[in-house]
Each structure stands twice: as C-alpha cells, then as structure tokens.
Amino acid sequence: NAGVTQTPKFRVLKTGQSMTLLCAQDMNHEYMYWYRQDPGMGLRLIHYSVGEGTTAKGEVPDGYNVSRLKKQNFLLGLESAAPSQTSVYFCASTKGLAQYFGPGTRLLVL
Amino acid sequence: GENVEQHPSTLSVQEGDSAVIKCTYSDSASNYFPWYKQELGKRPQLIIDIRSNVGEKKDQRIAVTLNKTAKHFSLHITETQPEDSAVYFCAASKGHTDKLIFGTGTRLQVFP
C-alpha cells in the first residue's frame, strides 16, 4: 500500500493563479482532511470530508475549495492564489481515530 | 470550539535525560489525544495516543498521561537519543471521526 500520497511535491505560483492539489489514499478510509502548516502555528484544518461526495469547512477555509468525487481522492483548490497562502499543505485520512498524513506539498505564492 | 495549548515551544535536553511536553485542552467532551512526531521536512507521524478512559499509556521509551479533571495531558520520553530530535505535536478530538485540533508544537533537541 502506498498509504496517503500528494501531488505535486512543490509548486511556485504567481498571485492570482489557480491550482489544484491532489490527495490520494489506498486504505479505503472514509475521512479525509486538508491542513496547512505555518511556522509556529502548528497544523490548521482547512476543509475535511466524512465520505464520498461530502465536504465541510475547517478552521481556515477562506480562499480554498475542495471536492471528494471519489472515495480515494480529495482535491484542494486555490482559485486565486495569494502570498498569504504560501505554506506547506498536508492531507490526512482516517477510518476511525488515528489520522495518517501524506508527505506534504510545499507551495510558494509570489 | 476546542483549543489546545502546548508547552514548551522549545526543549533542549542531554542525551539520556528525560523530556516532558505538556498540553491543555478546553473542551471537556474531548476524549482522544494523539501525539505526532515530525522530523525536518517530513510528514507528521503518530507515535502514541490515549483515550479518555485510560490515565496512562506506555510504549517502550515513550508514555502519555492524561488528567481529565485538569484537562491536560503530557508526553514523556525517557532515555532520550539524538534521533528523538524533532517537532512534537499534541492534538485533541471528541472521538470517532471528529476533527483533530493541534497544539502549536514543541521543538525537541537532544544533544549527544
């Protein structure tokens, strides 16, 4: 099993550009999450999904959209990137309690 | 909503010494408390977790204690080794499938 994977690993965007981050898991987990990690601020939840076709807002949802069309995939979209969205983005999934994280996507918005 | 505070933000110890990291939570309904270790440039990895029906849990050199009355839980690492150097995060949730709320992390440095 690959576990949780994320693409891309690293991306540079200009302000106003759009992009989609992909998270995939092969563990048949129902629940998936997107976090951002900034220095000194820990991991903050952006959006999450409790099953295929469902999404919900987390702590810091503004400027992001998500979709869960297939159980194994959870997409995070930035419609118009801003420098404040420079961060490391982690996806995670769980079937119950323990969350398992992907390797992260480092995003730089200039 | 839930708020998790973590202390200290940095911790330096000599190899072989013990390290203790403390977290407090605000929501008395929280009942699941995991700890994650994150090495530089890597993903957070679950190292130990505890549920509210247990006061202490051990796994080799690491242990977690929970005080539900005071709403705090702690990570204890004994006989520290240089490879324990990392950032450690605590988190809390109200159980099955609820959102995890993370502390801000503790950077642990173990000096040989």
Each residue's pLDDT, cut to its tens digit, for chain A (110 residues) gives 679 999 999 999 999 999 999 999 999 999 999 999 998 778 999 999 999 999 999 999 999 999 999 999 999 999 999 999 999 999 999 988 889 999 999 999 99
Name the DSSP letter for residue A71. T
Contact between residue B64 and residue B48 where contact means Cβ atoms under 8 Å apart: yes
Cβ contact, residue pair A41, B104, below 8 Å: yes
Q: Which residues of A touch B46 (CB under 8 A)?
A: 98-100
Question: Cα(B101)–Cα(B87) distance, rounded to whole angstroms?
Answer: 16
Q: Residue A102 is nearest to which of B43, B51, B105, comparing CB atoms?
A: B43
Query: How many whole angstroms separate alpha carbon B51 and alpha carbon A98?
Result: 11
Extract the tokens encoding A56: 């919900």
Burial class (CB in 10 A: 0-12, 13-18, 19+), A88: middle
